[in-house]
């Protein structure tokens, strides 16, 4: 995975050599990455800081600009020209909203842990031990983690802010983007100024909890709310998320129905394969309570039969994980179908070996 490059006398990597360089398979935990907040970049500064630990050794001592350029070239492989143009238009769209929308609750736009989180969650994060996390998290089904996270007051403030934003959209006739390709009702929280708050939520609070579902390298997110009920979306079809780790928190309000149903983790190759009985799990939402799961854990939402339900979704992503997937062929450590195929190959090999030994023993005694 990691190829050595040569550095020139002034500490820079020769341009001709960078094309052959690849990210390290494992991060350099001793390396302290640079900050990129003050640079004009195509991607979140957090992505660059996270990715820097995976740079090949010859890149660690070059200038920050050269590291940023090298990492940008890697990241751009996932964002073709058409996508980059759309990303630029989206930035301009977001800037127009932020310049014109007047927030109702300014306290939401920076993280105040004591005001946001329930005491048990905050205590576990501050202790930062496996024991403290296990004390607040239940795992009712493999790979699905449930815990109380937000105070009722925070949920009420966020719901009020969302309603205020939607009122502004209606009054100004501003056309906003849907939260994702499946939901028609809701809003992208990043688009009206909450991106920094959600970044801090991911980095300081969700990343530590996500280690068991591969979330230690999370470096970007897509944060939004979805709305279900009368005159809103009713249900959500079977799908996987565009994330490595998904945080799903019910904010309220009064409702019935709307259960999540999970049907097994799958890689891209096996995303449409059938489910097995041991992969079936249903979950009922509780306001203020979070569900944390792999983005590739197939799921959907049943119909909200009465009232209104609003959920906060944080799709947490890892540019490192996506880069590493390019070099992997075996996903049996997390894909249920890959794991079944691997076990079947192993069983076939064992059976063939036993048969071969049986015939050899028969020939030797004949």
User: Residue 80: which pLDDT band, with cuts at 50, 70 and 90?
Assistant: low
Q: How confident is the model at residue 366 (pLDDT cuts 50, 70, 90)?
A: low
pLDDT of residue 211: 76
CB atoms within 10 A of CB 52: 22
Half-sphere exposure of 179 (CA within 13 A, CB side): 25
pLDDT band at 341 (very low <50, low <70, confident <90, very high): very high
Q: What is the DSSP string of 237-273?
A: EEE--SSSEEEEEEEE-SEEE--EEEEEE--STTTTS
197: left (phi over 0), alpha (psi -120 to 50) or beta: alpha
Q: Edge-to-edge strand order for the sheet containing 297-301?
A: 236-239, 297-301, 260-265, 280-283
Question: In this model, does residue 16 exceed pLDDT 70?
Answer: no
Mean pLDDT taken over the chain: 86
The CA dihedral of 97, 99, 100, 101, to the nearest 10 degrees, is 70
DSSP 205: I
pLDDT digits (tens, 9 = 90+) for 298-339: 999 999 999 999 999 999 998 888 877 877 788 898 999 999
Q: Which pLDDT value is given to residue 161? A: 96
Residue 316 is predicted with a pLDDT of 94
Q: How confident is the model at residue 166 (pLDDT cuts 50, 70, 90)?
A: very high
**Contact (CB, 8 A) for 286 and 155:** no
| Beta carbons of 140 and 289 less than 8 angstroms apart | no
Q: Using CA atoms, how far apart are residues 287 and 148, in angstroms rounded to an integer?
A: 9
pLDDT (tens digit, 9 = 90+) per residue, 175-198? 888 888 898 899 999 999 999 899
- Quote the pLDDT of residue 171: 95
Prediction pTM value: 0.76
Q: What number is the average pLDDT over the span 50-77?
A: 89
Q: How confident is the model at residue 76 (pLDDT cuts 50, 70, 90)?
A: confident
Q: For residue 256, is pLDDT > 70?
A: yes
Q: What percent of the chain has pLDDT over 90?
A: 53
**Per-residue pLDDT at 7 exceeds 60:** no
The pLDDT of residue 69 is above 80: yes
What is the Cα–Cα distance from 185 to 181, expressed in whole angstroms? Answer: 11
Phi-psi region of 230 (alpha: psi -120 to 50; beta: other; left: phi over 0): beta
């Amino acid at each position: 995975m990691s190829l050595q490059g040569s550095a020139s006398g002034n500490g820079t990597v020769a341009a001709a050599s960078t094309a052959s360089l690849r990210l390290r398979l494992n991060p350099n935990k001793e390396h302290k990455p640079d900050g990129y907040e003050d640079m004009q970049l195509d991607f979140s500064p957090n992505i660059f800081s996270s990715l820097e630990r995976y740079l090949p050794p010859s890149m660690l001592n070059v200038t920050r600009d050269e590291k940023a350029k090298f990492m940008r070239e890697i990241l751009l492989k996932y964002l073709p020209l058409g996508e980059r143009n759309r990303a630029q238009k989206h930035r301009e769209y977001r800037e127009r909203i932020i310049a014109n929308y007047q927030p109702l609750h300014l306290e939401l736009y920076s993280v105040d842990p004591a005001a946001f989180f329930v005491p048990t969650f905050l205590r576990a994060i501050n202790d930062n031990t496996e024991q403290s996390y296990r004390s607040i998290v239940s795992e009712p089904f493999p790979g699905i983690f449930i815990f109380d996270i937000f105070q009722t007051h925070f949920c009420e403030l966020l719901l009020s802010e969302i309603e205020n934003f939607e009122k502004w959209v209606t009054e100004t006739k501003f056309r906003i983007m849907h939260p994702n390709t499946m939901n028609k009702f809701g809003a992208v929280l990043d688009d009206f100024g909450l991106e920094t708050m959600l970044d801090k939520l991911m980095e300081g609070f969700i990343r530590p909890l996500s280690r068991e579902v591969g979330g230690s390298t999370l470096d970007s997110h897509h944060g939004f709310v979805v709305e279900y009920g009368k005159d809103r979306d009713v249900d959500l079809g079977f799908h996987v998320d565009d994330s490595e780790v998904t945080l799903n928190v019910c904010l309220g309000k009064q409702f019935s129905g709307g259960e999540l149903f999970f049907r097994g983790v799958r890689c891209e190759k096996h995303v449409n394969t059938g489910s097995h009985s041991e992969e079936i799990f249903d979950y009922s939402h509780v306001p203020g309570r979070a569900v944390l799961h792999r983005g590739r854990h197939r799921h959907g939402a049943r119909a909200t039969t009465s009232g209104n339900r609003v959920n906060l979704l944080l799709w947490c992503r890892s540019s490192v994980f996506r880069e590493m997937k390019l070099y992997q062929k075996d996903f049996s450590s997390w894909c249920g179908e890959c794991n079944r195929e691997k076990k079947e190959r192993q069983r076939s090999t064992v059976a063939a070996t036993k048969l071969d030994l049986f015939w050899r023993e028969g020939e030797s005694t004949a």
